[in-house]
Amino acid sequence: MKRSVLIVLAMVLTACAASGAADPARNVEKYLQAKVKGDATAMRALLCSKMEAQLDQEATTFKGVVGVNIDGMACQRDGNSDVVRCQGKIVALYGTEKMDFPLVAYKVVQEDGEWKYCGETQ
């Protein structure tokens, strides 16, 4: 009986661990939300190692922008690929001028058992 309980517990833990790693679209959404907020700590946890050197630049993209938000964001993984395609836009208010930055497709890679944002792609 103990053995079967341990097997079930191991299966549950494996499923839980895999579920966090299995949603690259959600991690891209989290990354974009952190970028808009300028939250470098949150971004670092979601950024691939290849882009670590660009963290400061990414985190300050909207620094000094008073009104910035994400409008209509919906991201979805492109099949089983390493691409997440997003709809919606980042809306930023620079003084009195409103600028829209459409959300596009983003590359993701799996590192340390998690999907990481790794820049824009085509």
Q: Tokens 């691409």 — which residue?
A: 83
Q: Can you give the pLDDT at residue 33?
A: 97
Q: How far is CA 84 from the centre of its chain?
A: 9
Q: What is the pLDDT of residues 9-32, one digit of tens each?
A: 333 334 444 444 669 999 999 999
Does CATH number 3.10.450.100 belong to domain 24-121? yes
The CA–CA distances, whole Å, from 118 to 50, 93, 105 equal 7, 26, 11
pTM of the predicted model as reported, rounded to 2 decimal places: 0.81
Report the distance separating Cα 39 and Cα 44, nearest Å. Answer: 9
Query: Number of helices and strands (H, E) in the chain?
Result: 4, 5
